[in-house]
Structure 1
Amino acid sequence: MTVELPSVRAARKDDHVALAQSQRADTPHRRDFDDVDFLHHALGGIDAADVDLSVSVENWQWQNPFYVNGMTGGTEQTGIINRELAIAARETGLPIACGSVSIALDAPEDRVIQRAFTVIREENPHGFVMANVGVGRPANDAVRAVELLHADALQVHVNSVQETVMPEGSRDFGSWQHSLETLIAASPVPVIVKEVGFGLSRRTLESIRDLGATIADVSGTGGTDFLRIENARRTEAQADFSIMSGFGQSAMACLLDAPENGPQLLASGGVRNPFDVVKSLAAGARAVGVAGTFLETVQAGGAEALVPLIRQWQEQITAILALLGAHNPAELTSTDILVRGRLAEYCQLRGIDLPALARRSSTV
């Protein structure tokens, strides 16, 4: 494994944040979430006071069915972002993940790099925190990452599309399954295997299960597009990978196509609002990760802006569950959902029984 200079990797971290922010301005508003509707039953609602938003993931109980997903870290600028995200998570009871800590593991003497991550636990000492490393790292890095943040869980991200387009990326993917298996085995806490925005297919989820992980974040298309970000970092002399624009599957496609005996599912990728969260839960996610929307809010107004937004989301999700007659997020998997448009075409090609999804409440 070639280790880059920390300064080079730090610059890339800041580039990613800046490019992700500029990308949001021209990202198409319509996403696969919009191809999912609930069949309305006018007398099927319950009292909002009877709704409990807590969810069970692995052996954890989370107060909310959504969380702050891994974004960044490793520079002074990204450390400020992580601090504000951690404060918001602390004040609202949301679990929180960080971006890849690999840069911190490779530069243990650099206090700025270290604190860009450790500030999450400093500001949120009793909250649920997830560390993050990439596949391909040495097995002991699973232990080191968890120790860095005193983490409750470890995200291991797989990002072959990003690496393919990244100017300095690696295209040696043949060892990834073995690497993932060793990281899972070495981790002192449960591992969440996650994509970075291109989706986890049914076959991939089955492989993740067989390699020993019990949780996966499908992290589909529609949010921050690392293919576009890395392509923007390429010079005119380098090949243009925009030819691959749109590559991958959405979170909704991955959830609907997931194997019944696969890992417990988390979902992320382009989650814009509480209704996207509810739709993801209805499609089988245990909880939903939010990144871009929360990052934009923090950059505009810090934790002071993000805390009221999160509380608004909690209120809206409660109201929508009451409307749908769900006492808790798990009961959403018995609601009737109608799948249309491009997502329906995907489901038909994959052999998913769409009429059955539209009649789920009648089989309860």
Structure 2
Amino acid sequence: MSSGRKDQHVDLADAQQQDRPAHNDFDDVRFVHHALAGIDRERVSLSTAFAGIDWPVPLYVNGMTGGSARTGEINRSLAIAARETGVPIATGSMSVALRDPDMIGTFRVMRDENPGGFVMANLSADATPDDAARVVDLLQADALQVHLNSVQETVMPEGSRDFSAWPGNLAAIVERLEVPVIVKEVGFGLSRPTLERLAQLGVAVADVSGAGGTDFARIENARRAENDYAFMTGWGQSAVCSLLDAGDAAPGGIPDLVASGGVRTPLDVVRALALGAHAVGVSGVFLHAVLRGGEDALIARIGAWLEQIAQLHALLGASTPAELARTDLLLRGDVREFCELRGIDAAAFSRRGERHTGSSDEG
């Protein structure tokens, strides 16, 4: 992808933040409020562990950009904010850096500004094991995100139309690398059969990255002269539905899950954790903060989110993110319909926390 397209993607993604729908599937997930369930905020630990990865918080800055002078400066701000708040961070796709060595610095800045942080490199599923090893080395990365973007490629004017090599590529990359490989969608969700296939390929972590946030089908259609792929807008399933679908898998039959896509608030983070994610990634909201106020604005935003996430844990009686899996949830609207069509018992989520006492009013 050219530097010009990298800049164009940033502008189109930020524009979507301005006119995003008022409602997404996270709004169809409500906590049952138990008035005597709360604990002391000081008892809450936000640390999370999965697939041999230990993070101090269940929040991360998901892959966004890099590959041009402008996006390199954005990555600098993102990295500084990650360093100051302790959140893990991912780069955007580094394919352009493999083709153009002049662009390496626009990604390397994430490690230069955040030498002690958890940094994830990022490549497409077209990458070879050698490509994967090279970007991990360039960034001294702690993990590699490999993104699945067949919908985006389909709508992209210059995109690929052959996805047949992806499973073999993923298996080879997992075998080659010593760092964890995190396979992620780019905003269209991962179904349970896909997650089961990833586990068979040796993938230990998957980011379900669902619909409801930045829509790359819409972004690529805006780059087409005729805007003739508008019918692809809204393709896929949300992070909420992907997590629910995954919850019906056999134990050990899928990778450990993280989630992103459509996350707007600390409450959305806690909802995703309650649905089984070990950590939650944010892109659009954090990109918007950087573009409007630089790293200082993002540092303030992330700090506020982390405190609010901890306070919501205390309110819900969960001393760790893992304990949120025992909270009672009401699944409604489109999410409930998804559950019914996929054979998932939505009502069972409302009775997960029988240890709680007190009011059963909705929250």
Give the TM-score of the pair, scaled to structure 1. 0.95
Instruction: Tell me which residue corresponds to 1:189.
Output: 179
Instruction: Tell me which residue corresponds to 1:148.
Output: 138
In structure 1, the residue corresponding to 2:15 is in which secondary structure? helix
2: CA distance between counterparts of 1:26 and 1:47? 38
Instruction: Tell me which residue corresponds to 2:158.
Output: 168
1:350 and 2:338 matched: no
Instruction: Tell me which residue corresponds to 1:73.
Output: 66
Q: 2:88 pairs with 76, 91, 95, which one? A: 95
Count of residue pairs the alignment pairs up: 352
Q: Deviations over 1:163-214 (max 9, x none)?
A: 0000000110122111111122122211000000000000100010000101
1: CA distance between counterparts of 2:333 and 2:213? 19
In structure 1, the residue corresponding to 2:80 is in which secondary structure? helix
CA contact 1:143–1:188 (8 Å) conserved in 2:
no
Deviation at 1:270, TM superposition (A): 1.1
| 5+ residue gaps, structure 2 | 357-363
Instruction: Tell me which residue corresponds to 2:19.
Output: 26
Which residue identity is paired with 2:33?
Answer: H
Q: 2:48 pairs with 52, 55, 63, which one? A: 55
1: CA distance between counterparts of 2:213 and 2:231? 19
In structure 2, the residue corresponding to 1:224 is in which secondary structure? coil
In structure 2, the residue corresponding to 1:130 is in which secondary structure? strand
2: CA distance between counterparts of 1:178 and 1:59? 24
Q: 2:264 pairs with 244, 265, 272, which one? A: 272
Q: Deviations over 1:229-267 (max 9, x none)?
A: 00010112xx71111221100000000110243100000
Deviation at 1:25, TM superposition (A): 1.6
1:247 and 2:240 matched: no
Instruction: Tell me which residue corresponds to 2:254.
Output: 262
1:159 and 2:152 matched: no
Relative contact order, CA 8 A, sep 6+: which one is greater? 2
| Percentage of pairs with the same residue | 59
Q: Deviations over 1:272-309 (max 9, x none)?
A: 01000000000000000000000000011111111111
Q: Following superposition of structure 1 onto structure 2, how do residues 1-364 of structure 1 map, counting pairs within 5 Å?
A: 9-108=2-101, 110=102, 113-236=103-226, 240-258=228-246, 259=249, 260=251, 261-362=253-354
Deviation at 1:363, TM superposition (A): 7.4
2: CA distance between counterparts of 1:154 and 1:43? 42
CA contact 2:60–2:89 (8 Å) conserved in 1:
yes
Deviation at 1:362, TM superposition (A): 2.0
Q: Which runs of 4+ in 1 moved over 6 A?
A: none
Q: Deviations over 1:73-127 (max 9, x none)?
A: 010000000000000000000000000111101122x1xx111000000000000
CA contact 2:218–2:232 (8 Å) conserved in 1:
no
Which residue identity is paired with 2:297?
Answer: A
CA contact 2:63–2:89 (8 Å) conserved in 1:
yes
1: CA distance between counterparts of 2:73 and 2:190? 31
CA contact 2:215–2:233 (8 Å) conserved in 1:
no
| 5+ residue gaps, structure 1 | 1-7
In structure 2, the residue corresponding to 1:362 is in which secondary structure? coil
Decide which moves more: 146-155 or 23-32. Answer: 23-32
Deviation at 1:356, TM superposition (A): 1.3
Which residue identity is paired with 2:159?
Answer: G
Which residue identity is paired with 2:261?
Answer: G
1: CA distance between counterparts of 2:287 and 2:16? 13
CA contact 2:91–2:120 (8 Å) conserved in 1:
yes
Deviation at 1:145, TM superposition (A): 1.0
Decide which moves more: 75-84 or 240-249. Answer: 240-249
1: CA distance between counterparts of 2:16 and 2:94? 24
In structure 1, the residue corresponding to 2:267 is in which secondary structure? helix
1: CA distance between counterparts of 2:286 and 2:50? 22
Deviation at 1:60, TM superposition (A): 2.1
The root-mean-square deviation of aligned C-alpha atoms, in Å, is: 1.1
